[in-house]
Amino acid sequence: MSDGNEKIQDAAPGSHPNRRDVLKALASVPVLGVFFAGWYQKKLKEDARRQAIMEELGITEGAPAFIRDAISRPPGDRIRVGIIGYGGEGESLVRSAGFAHPDWIESERKAAEENPRNRALRTFMEQDDLNIELTAVCDVFDVRAERAQAAAVNQVGPTAEKASGRAAVRYFRYTDMLESGDVDAVLIATPDHWHAQMCIDAAAAGKHIYVEKALTREEEETHRLYEAVKASGVVFQLGHQQRQTESHIKAREVVQAGILGPITLVETTTNRNDPWGAWVWDIHEKGSPETIDWEQFQGPAPNRYPFSLERFFRWRCWFDYGTGLSGDLFSHEYDAVNQILDLGIPRTAVASGGIYFFKDGRDVPDVFQAVMEYPDRDLTLVYSATLANGRSRGRVFMGHDATMEVDNGLRISADASSTRYEGKIGEGLIDPSMPMFSFQPGFEGLDAITSATAEYFVSRGLLYTYRGGRLTNTYHLHIAEWLDVIRNGGDTSCNLERGFEEAMTCHMATRSYQLGRQVSWDPVARRIV
């Protein structure tokens, strides 16, 4: 545009630019100076504010530190694992341990092609090789047992190089698996009513145990399980995989640093609003009395029924096999709070609710509220749930000085009437209407979520977390921790004591709902009364 032909009106023909030229050439440079002066002022102010808050809080913004045990590689250290119960949850566990069914690989490959935000397959392929072999499977439904066997020999996955390709043996009874000498450790992912007996038998056989939550279906069997596992010395992990979620570990740091002040109320919630989220799970087309060992399924259930596809595939809807919201979802919420606050078992519990939406023959409530009192801690824990509304209500820790909301990240806001932050609020350094501290691991707005219920799982830290900035499956980390303890000693994060607390707290809520009155925990007799 400007070229050599242009007449520079102001330019003098001398050998140096005249003063006017220089002035006009440099006219905008002072603006640059103003810019950087302004920016520097702004930065100083923001840095001072940030530093004041961080000094006040005494906590870093970084991810919590992990000292991850190295996974033992020698073949002698390979652990032979058996899976008992290969339904939806069992399949997730086995996949998180490194063995995916070929159909899953194929469907996730297609899903990732259609939507590049879907990283399920990539996350699976990037999992650590846990140096285990899936040697034995047990399921009362033929289709699922065969699926588990196919997963065990699938060469595609993080364990591909290690897999011997040897077929996993199917056992029709888990006791035969325990006695076979084929397994060192078992993953138990059956309906809840089987957990206690299976754990007791596995402990007696000296097999390490990873059992899905809820730990048990009722109080009595919990005591027997506790004694048996404790006496055996096997490594025990309860499947509350959100113990591995970075934000929960960070939340514990926050509470221990006293940032929230005295916490008097913790509110936890479940909101889901689709049939799947209310346990109206698919009934498999091949399910029949010929393919399902119905008698074995019923096992220790308190009532016997004729063969029922609904009861088999949608067992969470009945107290015969589980405890509904209490054991399925309150258990996760409670364990998350227990992880952060070390609450233990409440003094009293009162619960209420009803079957208000899914009137499909179930006997567990679909709307359920429980209030647990901890007078020794000057704290109430509230759980509130509905399966017929999807509004996200979060998990909130309410302290005198600040409020902390914990999901896959965490946010802390100072309380406007806080004693501790009064000065800094007055100075304008802390604005109570804005989070003064937030921790959001990994990227924002991540990854494709396929359904409302899946979104619920993700927001609760139940599916994925981050390690070193990398998206990681929490099941995988929870199983890896269990295997590390088996090999190297130490303690699992959701050990027998935590499991006992989870079971008793959930059973107090269930009992209160069923009896329609408040129940208490007798800490001496260790009984619900």
* Amino acid in the structure at residue 239: G
CA distance linking residue 403 with residue 322, whole number of Å = 34
Of the residues 443, 451, 514, 523, which one makes contact with another protein according to CB under 8 A: 443
Look up residue 246 and give its DSSP letter. Answer: H
Q: Are 282 and 141 in contact (CB under 8 A)?
A: no
4 binds another protein (CB under 8 A): yes
Nearer to another protein, 124 or 321 (CB): 124
Of the candidate spans 9-17, 79-87, 242-250, 393-401, the one that interacts with another protein by CB under 8 A turns out to be 9-17
20: left (phi over 0), alpha (psi -120 to 50) or beta: alpha
| 350 CB burial (10 A radius; 0-12, 13-18, 19+) | middle
446 binds another protein (CB under 8 A): yes
Of the candidate spans 112-120, 426-434, 478-486, 493-501, the one that interacts with another protein by CB under 8 A turns out to be 112-120
The H-or-E segment that residue 311 falls in is helix 309-313
* Amino acid in the structure at residue 17: P
DSSP for 47-65? HHHHHHHHHHHT--SSPPP
Of the residues 359, 444, 516, 524, which one makes contact with another protein according to CB under 8 A: 444
In angstroms, what is the minimal distance from the CB of 276 to another protein?
23
* Amino acid in the structure at residue 509: A
Nearer to another protein, 3 or 378 (CB): 3
In angstroms, what is the minimal distance from the CB of 136 to another protein?
38
525 binds another protein (CB under 8 A): no
Nearer to another protein, 204 or 458 (CB): 458
In angstroms, what is the minimal distance from the CB of 287 to another protein?
39
Q: Are 192 and 318 in contact (CB under 8 A)?
A: no
**Angle 111-113-115 (CA atoms, 0-180°, nearest 5)?**
65
CA distance linking residue 135 with residue 177, whole number of Å = 10
| Number of residues lying near another protein (CB under 8 A) | 31
517 binds another protein (CB under 8 A): no
Of the candidate spans 32-40, 340-348, 352-360, 482-490, the one that interacts with another protein by CB under 8 A turns out to be 32-40
Of the residues 19, 28, 285, 426, which one makes contact with another protein according to CB under 8 A: 28
* Other C-beta atoms lying within 10 Å of the C-beta of residue 282: 11
290 binds another protein (CB under 8 A): no
In angstroms, what is the minimal distance from the CB of 115 to another protein?
9
The length of the chain is 529
* Amino acid in the structure at residue 202: A
Q: Is the peptide bond before 214 cis (omega within 30 degrees of 0)?
A: yes
416 binds another protein (CB under 8 A): no
Of the candidate spans 63-71, 97-105, 114-122, 379-387, the one that interacts with another protein by CB under 8 A turns out to be 114-122
306 binds another protein (CB under 8 A): no
356 binds another protein (CB under 8 A): no
Nearer to another protein, 25 or 515 (CB): 25
Nearer to another protein, 16 or 304 (CB): 16
468 binds another protein (CB under 8 A): no
Instruction: Please give the torsion angle defined by the CA atoms of residues 340, 344, 348 and 354, in that order, rounded to the nearest 10 degrees.
Output: 60
Calculate the alpha carbon distances from 232 to 48, 496, 507 in Å. Answer: 56, 12, 25
Calculate the alpha carbon distances from 159 to 111, 136, 155 in Å. Answer: 22, 17, 8
Of the candidate spans 29-37, 68-76, 205-213, 313-321, the one that interacts with another protein by CB under 8 A turns out to be 29-37
Of the candidate spans 22-30, 166-174, 201-209, 484-492, the one that interacts with another protein by CB under 8 A turns out to be 22-30
Look up residue 484 and give its DSSP letter. Answer: H
Q: Which two structure tokens, joined as six digits, stand for 485?
A: 């303890």
The interface mask with another protein, positions 36-75, x = CB under 8 A, is: ---x---x--------------------------------
- Give me the residues that bind another protein (CB under 8 A), please: 1-6, 8, 11, 13, 15, 17, 21-22, 24-29, 31-32, 35, 39, 43, 116-117, 119, 443-446
